[in-house]
């Protein structure tokens, strides 16, 4: 007599874990749900602990998502993904013939999945060989979506007791001021610890340009360029009275085409 099949359910929403447990109990009474995980990290830990044959993984989970968790589990179990509305994921699952369920889980569909899993377990079938490539490209896609931008989008500045997040599009210019850098933005001025050099590296070059050893300007705000006799220039900004210097080595930015 073979031991009963075992399963792990991973979903960050407890009601949905319970619901899937109940549905499975009706459709596949022999299946033992040996562990429930609240996120991808727990799923991998509990999988290593219990080595279940079937794993139900929610795609969207905090920390490690379902796709990343599945790569951790690799080819050691039959994996079924559960998703609410990740269209790109559904397409990839279809394409790679990977088992998946959509939430809310339809009982007839779950019955089909159960039948397929039972058949594979009976044959002691290996998980599908193409699965890993599909998971890898899906993981890449998810990382790309969650990836931070290449450039600074926010400037964190201490204002009084708190740290304020200033959207870079509201910044008019940045100017080094001894140890600190002065940020002049639509809501006022603030000092930050980052240097002009660091900021010049991190800010989007399509929007910001260094125009002087100590000045970075938001190009979208420049209204006038006044050239001086000694190969330097002055910048005038929209809605601001300050005049910013352009030094000789940065003058080419404003040369006539």
Task: Point out which residues bind another protein (CB under 8 A).
Answer: 12-16, 18-19, 22, 38-39, 41, 60, 62-63, 84-86, 102-105, 148-156, 159, 162-165, 167, 169, 187, 202, 219-229, 233-234, 236, 238-239, 243, 254-257
Judged by beta carbon, residue 2 or residue 87, the one nearer another protein is 87
Judged by beta carbon, residue 84 or residue 115, the one nearer another protein is 84
Q: How far is the CB of 88 from another protein (least distance, A)?
A: 12
Q: Is 202 left (phi over 0), alpha (psi -120 to 50) or beta?
A: alpha
Q: How far is the CB of 227 from another protein (least distance, A)?
A: 5
Judged by beta carbon, residue 175 or residue 221, the one nearer another protein is 221
Rounded Cα–Cα distance for residues 147 and 81 (Å): 23
Burial label, 230 (beta-carbon count in 10 A; 0-12, 13-18, 19+): exposed
Judged by beta carbon, residue 76 or residue 207, the one nearer another protein is 207
């Amino acid at each position: 007599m073979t031991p009963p099949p075992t399963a792990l359910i991973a979903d960050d929403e407890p009601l949905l874990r319970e619901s899937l447990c109940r549905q499975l109990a009706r459709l596949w009474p022999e299946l033992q749900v040996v562990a429930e995980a609240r996120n991808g990290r727990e799923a991998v830990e509990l999988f290593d602990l219990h080595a279940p044959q079937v794993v139900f993984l929610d795609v969207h989970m905090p920390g490690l998502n379902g796709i990343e968790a599945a790569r951790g589990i690799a080819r050691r179990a039959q994996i079924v993904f559960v998703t609410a509305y990740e269209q790109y994921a559904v397409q990839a699952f279809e394409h790679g013939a990977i088992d998946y369920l959509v939430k809310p889980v339809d009982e007839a569909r779950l019955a089909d999945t159960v039948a397929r899993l039972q058949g594979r377990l009976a044959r002691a079938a290996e998980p599908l060989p193409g699965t890993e490539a599909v998971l890898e490209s899906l993981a890449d896609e998810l990382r790309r979506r969650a990836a931070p931008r290449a450039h600074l989008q926010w400037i964190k500045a201490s204002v009084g007791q708190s740290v304020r997040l200033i959207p870079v599009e509201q910044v008019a210019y940045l100017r080094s001021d001894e140890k600190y850098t002065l940020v002049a933005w639509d809501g006022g001025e603030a000092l930050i610890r980052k240097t002009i050099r660091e900021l010049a590296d991190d800010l989007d070059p399509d929007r910001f340009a260094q125009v002087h050893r100590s000045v970075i300007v938001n190009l979208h705000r420049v209204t006038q360029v006044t050239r001086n006799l000694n190969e330097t220039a002055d910048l005038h900004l929209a809605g601001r009275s300050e005049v910013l210097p352009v030094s000789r080595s940065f003058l080419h930015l404003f040369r006539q085409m």
